[in-house]
């Protein structure tokens, strides 16, 4: 966490980052989780409401410069860092952005996994721990590259020191960036039951991905971690039906069971 905090002040992409919001390398209890869903970067809704106003008091989800009582990230001390870590760890016990995370929870449940409750078995991590003002896909290519470049090695250390044995990549963009970050090539399988119908057009095909990684951003994990994923972003892909969601959950359960074997 200290590494991510130190890097916030020096990002060349700082103009597009919510620079007053803390880094969020993980959501949930990383110490108890065995499975992590994976996204690209935190939503701006972790720090602002629909009108773009900063979340304050009871609505605040995570620490900010203002809540910590400092002017810049270089001013934070060990106590501040611990507060950020605790907020990330207890995220699902406080005020989670359920509109986003409950969708992922639906595909975890067939495997008996959960973000919530007193004994969570899953957490969420992002390839980039910095929330941005605008959606990732609208950012300048140079800013996206800068953010990814400043995250890979620290993400590797986070995974190395965790107990995670399975990563679930949420959407094609996550898969593409993950392959670059880990220098991996995940196998792809067409999943016809995941196709999304389009009126007067060909359906959007569904694909499943799987593989294993042993290092991230040049950091050796000391073990192999199984990786699975799907090409539909469940929160934003148009036409993701309950049936497709259920099929992905069933497939994830079988992937998780084979990992245990």
Task: Please say if the pLDDT value at position 19 is more than 80.
Answer: yes
The whole-number average pLDDT for the span 247-258 is 86
Residue 206, classed as helix, strand or coil, is coil
46 touches 132 (CB < 8 A):
no
Cα separation, 261 vs 251, in Å, equals 15
Give me the DSSP letters along 136-204. GGGS-HHHHHHHHHTTHHHHHHHHHTS---EEEEESHHHHHHHHHHHT---EEEE-GGG-EEETTEEEE
- pLDDT at residue 155 in the model: 86
- Tell me which DSSP letter residue 22 carries: P
- pLDDT at residue 199 in the model: 78
pLDDT in tens, 38-71: 999 999 999 999 999 999 999 999 999 999 999 9
Cα separation, 154 vs 106, in Å, equals 29
- pLDDT at residue 13 in the model: 67
Cα separation, 42 vs 128, in Å, equals 8
- Tell me which DSSP letter residue 28 carries: S
pLDDT band at 202 (very low <50, low <70, confident <90, very high): confident
148 touches 173 (CB < 8 A):
no
The whole-number average pLDDT for the span 145-174 is 91
24 touches 42 (CB < 8 A):
yes
- pLDDT at residue 239 in the model: 77
Cα separation, 137 vs 177, in Å, equals 12
Quote the mean pLDDT of the chain.
91
pLDDT band at 237 (very low <50, low <70, confident <90, very high): low
- pLDDT at residue 129 in the model: 93
- pLDDT at residue 260 in the model: 59
- pLDDT at residue 35 in the model: 96
Task: Please say if the pLDDT value at position 261 is more than 60.
Answer: no
Q: Pick 210 or 152 by higher pLDDT.
A: 210
**Domains of the chain as residue ranges with CATH:** 24-44+96-260 (3.40.470.10)
pLDDT in tens, 98-152: 989 999 999 999 999 999 998 899 999 999 999 999 999 899 999 998 898 888 8
């Amino acid at each position: 966490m200290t590494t991510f905090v130190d890097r916030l002040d020096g990002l060349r992409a700082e103009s597009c980052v919510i620079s007053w919001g803390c880094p969020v390398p993980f959501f949930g209890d990383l110490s108890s989780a065995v499975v992590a869903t994976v996204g690209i970067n935190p939503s701006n809704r972790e720090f602002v409401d629909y009108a773009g106003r900063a979340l304050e008091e009871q609505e605040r989800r995570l620490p900010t410069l203002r809540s910590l009582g400092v002017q810049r990230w270089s001013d934070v001390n060990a106590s501040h860092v611990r507060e950020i870590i605790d907020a990330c760890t207890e995220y699902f016990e406080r005020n989670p952005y359920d509109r986003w995370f409950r969708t992922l929870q639906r595909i975890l449940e067939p495997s008996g996994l959960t973000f919530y409750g007193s004994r969570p078995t899953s957490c969420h991590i992002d390839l980039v721990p910095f929330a941005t003002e605008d959606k990732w896909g609208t950012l300048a290519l140079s800013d996206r590259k800068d953010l990814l470049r400043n995250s890979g090695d620290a993400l590797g250390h986070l995974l190395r020191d965790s107990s995670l044995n399975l990563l679930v990549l949420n959407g094609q963009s996550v898969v593409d960036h993950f392959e670059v970050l880990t220098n991996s090539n995940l196998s792809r399988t067409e999943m016809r039951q995941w196709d999304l119908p389009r009126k007067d057009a060909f359906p959007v095909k569904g694909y499943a991905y799987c593989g294993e990684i042993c290092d991230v951003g040049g950091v050796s994990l000391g073990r192999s971690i199984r990786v699975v994923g799907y090409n539909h972003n469940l929160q934003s892909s148009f036409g993701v039906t309950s049936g497709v969601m259920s099929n992905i959950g069933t497939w994830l359960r079988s992937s998780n069971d084979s990992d245990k074997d």
